[in-house]
Chains A and B, each alone.
Chain A
Amino acid sequence: MRKVRNRALSVIAIALVCAALTGFFLFRYFTQGDKWAGSVYNSDAYAGGRLRAGTVTDREGEVLYKAQDGEVRYAADELTRRALLHVIGDRAGNIGAGAVLRFASQISGYDPINGLWTPGGEGGTLALSVDAGASRAALSAMGNRNGAVVVINYVTGELICAVSAPGFDPENPPERPEDASGVYLNRGISATYTPGSVFKLVTLTAAIETLPDLFDRDFHCDGALYVGGGSVTCPDAHGDMKIEDAMALSCNCVFGDLALELGGETIRQYAERLGLTDSVELDGILSAQGSFEIAPEGSLDLAWSGAGQYETLVCPLAMARLAAAIARGGTAPELTELKTGRESPGTRILPEETAERLSCVMDYCTAKTYGDQNFPGLDIRAKSGTAEVGDSQPHAWFVGFNADPAAPYAFAVILENSGSGAAEAGPVANAVLQELVGGG
């Protein structure tokens, strides 16, 4: 019998397998349970594709979305609903980047101890980092123009505003989705645009780091720079100037010349280092990826690419992140849509000295061209862009930040086919920041 008993230990092996598999499952449960619970296949979290229970608020606690017993209610006023549509998401789940889909387990109140059980079945409350007031201000200021407004708190990395147009009222969604082309996209995060002159920030960075005498050089503009049978043109002949003025006047000839001197490969490297050709991560989703094509050496295309034309495309979120990095002295904050209030350690993408110089040049741009009086109470350092897009009106860009530690906001505004960057997009940025500063 002792032999048989020894052989019975083979059953212990099976029991051990069972225990090990249980342990493995528990490990998965504690590491992936939130994804399982928030999955749209979970009928405890969803009813007919809508969350059963839970609340989403902005950073001040204003209720933007409330689900109860499978009934979903958005904010009471239409402006708020429209301004936050792309951040929250729609009922039908067409807006994939919406918080309702991405943070379903938190909204439903999931935690590994209680699962989706919440006292009274109320679900959970998710506080987003966005500011509803700023979002309303942004959409109002945009008027009926399409485009996006992205604002980041550059200390914490929290996304304060991500308004996109066109959109719709989630309480009154388009009946036929095929008529609704483009309304589901958050253009600040999931679209790319020709940058135009805001890309001069990249060319300038490359020049600062590559050409030691940049700030001592004298530049000259006759209104056109002839290259390889064509020309880079400016609206006016800017005459003699230093690099700061070239930036403030947004002189295409100077930046075309710098691009030819630096070479396409160098500019591409800086576009990449500054995070414009990659996706930006936002709580697990990726922004649209920008691109920079290297034009042949000495070509007209290369000259234009130094001024942000040619084939270059950037995502507004990536531009706002670059502005945030300049504001912070060279480190890009980790971005989030969730209210954290914690300082983000950031990732260095620029040497501190270069960031300082860029900041000074942008300060000079505002003082000289955009006008400090247009941004009362703020210390705006920015770069505008008027991006030529074929035969239509150019895209209006305004990218920059408020250099006040008490109101640390970086922004990127893009208005499609709306004309001058400084004249059109600048006031939108101002409207949003005034709301943020005034709102405390």
Chain B
Amino acid sequence: MSELDTLPRMDRRVALQWMLGAAAAIATRDGRLLAADDTTAPITAKGYGLDPSMVKVYNPGDVWPLTFTQVQRRTTRALCDIIVPSDDISPSGSAVGVPDFIDEWISAPYPEQAKDRPLLLDGLRWIEEEAQRRHQTAFADLSTAQQTVICETFADPAKAKSIDAKAAAFFKRLRDLAFGAWCTTPEGMKAVGYVGNVPTATFAGPPHEALKHVGLA
């Protein structure tokens, strides 16, 4: 790093030690600053505890800090919109906050999410490396067609092996999380045909056309 060269009064070895010490101190104070580049760094934030308010509306980042780097955020955003593109019926993943959810997920202080963190962060790096290898361009700056071709490679277990043994598992996990996050928003629910969560005076039962559809009327 060039910063080392701007410390002329220190011996390089001393400077290096000083840098490492300072970095460790910052990491201790605020794990999220450095954690994102090191996929093995543990999340030290606290969870919402055993007695959180259940009625409050929460947004990613409200309970624990988000940890994506700028690059990871950009890549994720682009991936979310390839996984869930917008169409006439419904908006894309990024339009309803899915990238923030992915960030919340990989930054969460719970075991299941901690297990996903290295896979997802490694996977984002593989995506970037693949974009660079093919086009010498960041994934987010590629055309939709180019992004789709890369995703098709990751989505096919047979092809994904050439990238990394876990590349297909990464893409499947990201897809499950991104699509799950999308279809649990009001817009996503509507798009997959969920029309409930509405109070009504009576329960009408299935309409005639639905019964007819399955041979019950």
Do A and B come from the same complex? no
